[in-house]
């Protein structure tokens, strides 16, 4: 395993130059990298939390043998989180998401459209790639299947559910840096701060101008804020256009 000292000694001058070149000349790839890093960051964060719970359990049970190794592992994970956050900050670009509804209409007009329809009974997780996929619905906790027509619709429906559980917590997303991008804000009480705002419960707007993987990452963060397990959130696809996009 890479240790913290090795992370510190990465040539960040060369890395910064590479990141800047990608950000300026290949902005779409910069967005892809950001989304992948955000997912990795979320998984590492969950792992650090799990280690923390284990540490507390060991202390309560007076089992001290693995305390040092688990503490070191937790600190390494936190170090990786910070480094990933730094890279994400350097890569972040202004994201402009195309009109997904227009794209969907064009795809539906194809003579072989049905070739891309998939089994909507198959469960998928939030740790999969949602690019070029169209959702059928989602389940989590004890809720029955909630059907959705788009990723933005899924984000809206989940937001409405979370607001009903704890509105104050949801409203706090507006001022939490980890719940918003460095450039783009995702939550605001003022619609002018968002590119494509949608009002949730007459109290706050959420930006739906995000692609599939961006919404996936935001959903993971939202669930974590509510102490809900991302692994319990199941997604169902309606269609998969991956081969069409090759």
C-alpha separations of 55 from 25, 51, 73, 95 in Å: 45, 6, 11, 40
Residues 132 and 63 reside in one and the same domain: no
**Residue 222 and residue 104 in one domain:** yes
Among the candidates 74, 91, 108, a domain finishes at 91
What are the beta bridge partners of residue 234? Answer: 139
From 51, 71, 91, give the residue that closes a domain.
91
Residue 84 sits in the same domain as residue 110: no
- Domain boundary (91, 111, 144) is at 91
Q: Is 218 in the same domain as 183?
A: yes
- Are residues 115 and 22 located together in one domain of the fold? no
133 and 229 share one domain: yes
Query: In this structure, are 68 and 176 located in the same domain?
Result: no
148 and 49 share a domain? Answer: no
Specify whether 87 is located in the same domain as 144.
no
Q: Which of 239, 240, 225, 73 is nearest to 162 (CA)?
A: 225
On whether both 213 and 117 belong to a single domain, the answer is: yes
CATH code: domain of residue 229: 1.20.1380
Using the Cα atoms of residue 155, residue 245, residue 32 and residue 50 in order, give the sign of their dihedral.
Answer: positive
Show pLDDT as tens, one digit a residue, over the chain (246 residues): 445 555 455 566 687 788 888 877 887 788 888 888 988 988 898 899 889 989 999 888 888 888 899 999 999 999 998 888 888 877 776 554 555 555 566 666 665 767 888 999 999 999 999 988 999 999 998 889 999 999 999 999 999 999 999 999 999 999 999 899 877 899 999 999 899 999 999 999 999 998 899 999 999 999 999 999 998 999 999 999 887 765
Burial class (CB within 10 angstroms; exposed 0-12, middle 13-18, buried 19+) of 122: exposed
Does one domain contain both 79 and 131?
Answer: no
- On whether both 70 and 176 belong to a single domain, the answer is no
Which structural domain range is residue 123 located in? 100-245
Q: Domain count of the chain? A: 2
Q: Are 92 and 33 in contact (CB under 8 A)?
A: no
């Amino acid at each position: 395993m890479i240790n913290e000292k090795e992370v510190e000694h990465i040539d960040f001058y060369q890395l910064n130059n590479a990141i800047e070149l990608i950000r300026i000349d290949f902005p779409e790839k910069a967005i892809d990298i950001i989304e992948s890093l955000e997912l990795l960051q979320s998984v590492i964060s969950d792992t650090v939390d799990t280690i923390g719970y284990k540490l507390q359990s060991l202390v309560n049970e007076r089992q001290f043998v693995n305390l040092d190794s688990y503490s070191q592992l937790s600190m390494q994970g936190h170090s990786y989180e910070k480094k990933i956050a730094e890279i994400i900050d350097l890569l972040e670009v202004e994201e402009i998401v195309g009109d997904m509804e227009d794209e969907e209409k064009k795809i539906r007009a194809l003579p072989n459209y049905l070739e891309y329809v998939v089994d909507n009974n198959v469960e998928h997780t939030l740790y999969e790639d949602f690019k070029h996929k169209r959702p059928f619905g989602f389940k989590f906790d004890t809720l029955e299947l909630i059907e959705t027509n788009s990723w933005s619709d899924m984000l809206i429906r989940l937001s409405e559910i979370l607001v009903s559980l704890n509105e104050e917590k949801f409203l706090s997303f507006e001022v939490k840096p980890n719940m918003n991008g460095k450039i783009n804000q995702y939550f605001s009480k003022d619609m002018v701060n968002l590119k494509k705002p949608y009002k949730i419960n007459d109290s706050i707007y959420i930006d739906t101008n995000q692609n599939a993987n961006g919404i996936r990452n935001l959903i993971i963060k939202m669930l974590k804020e509510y102490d809900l397990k991302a692994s319990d959130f199941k997604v169902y696809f309606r269609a998969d256009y991956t081969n069409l996009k090759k």
